[in-house]
Structure 1
Amino acid sequence: MTEKTESAAAVTEESLVATCEGVVRDYLAHRGYEVHAGDGWSCDCEDAPIVATDGDETVLIAVISGYEEGSARMPELNVGAAEFAIMRRACLLYLADHGDVDAIRHDVVSIVVTGERQAKLRHLIGAWQWAERKD
């Protein structure tokens, strides 16, 4: 999920994505998440570039990255029904692969790089979530 403007011609999509994912990992660690080592998780065309733990919850994090030199606007979080269905499927597939998970959610982080060492970030917590009931 990447957005680029014409002024970003010198920034490759691959380097932008890597930079944004690195910033998001640092942000999550600063917020107290335990960010899992490795390159995320992928299964059957569903992926989460970042997997973390927030308390007792496993968190799959999708990163929407963009580059807009000098932009003053906040990053957009356009998450519609199709994206929610993808997040639900990813969480359920993750649960099928990891039987020890009692609670899982899918977050979305939108980040726009606005210049050298400058970025704006928005974090949608719990775009989709599931927890095992313990009655």
Structure 2
Amino acid sequence: MATVLSHDLARAMGEIRPDIVAGNLADTYRGDDARGCSGLLTDRVSWVFVDTVPEDAQGAFADAYGPVAVCHRVAGPDDPTPKGPDTFCRVTPEAIARAASDLIDDGTRATAVNLAVSYLGRRGYRVLERDWVCAAGTVDIVAVDPDGALVLMSIRHRVAPGATDHEQLGTVAVEAEERRAMRKCCLHRLVEEREGGDQPWESTRFDVLGLTFTGGPDVRLRHLVGAVSWDSD
């Protein structure tokens, strides 16, 4: 049976995602023999529990794929409550590190979107949808501002302990390809609402919200209003 110990997983994670660190990751033993490891990995915003020898996951999965490791998001370092289903992967340091990294990224993005929605609500915006999907792509948030304008928003986030306002400015840059995609998404949205008989909007624009998790209780946020114009490339 494959064995992945805490130092194996820490090494693989350091090579794949050096920004993700171990919490209480430790080896597990049967008698004097180390059989694997379990514990927490985090980017300091989201937390994932990893067990490289889950006793209750070895049956059907082991029969089909060989030994498996299990990961799932948890509420925090002091709260083991799962925040989603288990993710199973092969028992190799690289596979476990990638699975944990994906879960952490999903959790941190969800936190960023939740904070963005809270921010918008306090400023009088009405959020219509999250992760709205159309033929041209996905829009993180569709909202209506206090003046009645339809706003399509891109949410950017990063984890940067000790970041300054100047360092955060890069999180709101919009590349040409994304500008074109956002304009197409807007047209799809307007057509969809017209066909559905929804009310027309006073105007339409594209915003970017950049959030930086600085490693403490504060989150730096920058709201770029009108980040993309209809006339830009």
For Structure 1 versus Structure 2, the TM-score category normalised by the shorter chain is 0.7 to 0.9
2:211 aligned to 93, 111, 116, which one?
Answer: 111
Post-superposition offset of 1:127: 2.3
Q: Distance in 2 between matches of 1:6 and 1:59?
A: 36
Which residue in 2 is equivalent to 1:70? Answer: 162
TM-score normalised by the chain length of structure 1: 0.80
Q: Percent sequence identity over matched residues? A: 30
User: Any stretches of 5+ residues in structure 2 without a counterpart?
Assistant: 1-16, 22-41, 44-103
1:82 aligned to 148, 152, 177, which one?
Answer: 177
Q: Distance in 1 between matches of 2:200 and 2:228?
A: 15
Give the aligned residue type for 1:114: T
Structure 1 runs of 4+ aligned residues shifted over 3 Å read none
Give the aligned residue type for 2:105: E
Q: Distance in 1 between matches of 2:130 and 2:184?
A: 19
User: Any stretches of 5+ residues in structure 1 without a counterpart?
Assistant: 131-135
Task: Please say if residues 136 and 181 of structure 2, whose CA atoms lie closer than 8 Å, have aligned partners that are also in contact.
Answer: no
1:26 aligned to 111, 115, 118, which one?
Answer: 118
What is the DSSP-based 3-state SS (H/G/I as helix, E as strand, rest coil) of the residue aligned with 1:87? helix
Q: Which has the higher helix share?
A: 2
TM-score normalised by the chain length of structure 2: 0.49
Q: How much is the aligned-residue C-alpha RMSD, in angstroms?
A: 2.0
Residues 32, 8 of structure 1: alpha-carbon distance in 2 compared, 3 angstrom cutoff: farther
Q: Deviations over 1:51-110 (max 9, x none)?
A: 111121111111011111222232422112222111111111111111133322111111
